[in-house]
Amino acid sequence: MSKTATIRAQIELGLKEEVDKILSDLGLTTTQTIQLLYNRIREDRRLPFPVETPNKLTARTLRESKVGRNVRRFASKQELYTDLGL
Q: pTM for this structure?
A: 0.58
- CA–CA dist 32, 35 (Å, integer): 5
**30, 23 Cβ separation under 8 angstroms:** yes
CA proximity to 30, closest of 6, 47, 49, 51 = 6
Q: What does the DSSP assignment read for 46-82? A: S-SS---PPPHHHHHHHHHHHTTTT----SSHHHHHH
What are the pLDDT tens digits along the chain (86 aa)? Answer: 679 999 999 999 999 999 999 999 999 999 999 999 999 999 999 999 998 889 999 999 999 999 999 888 999 999 999 999 99
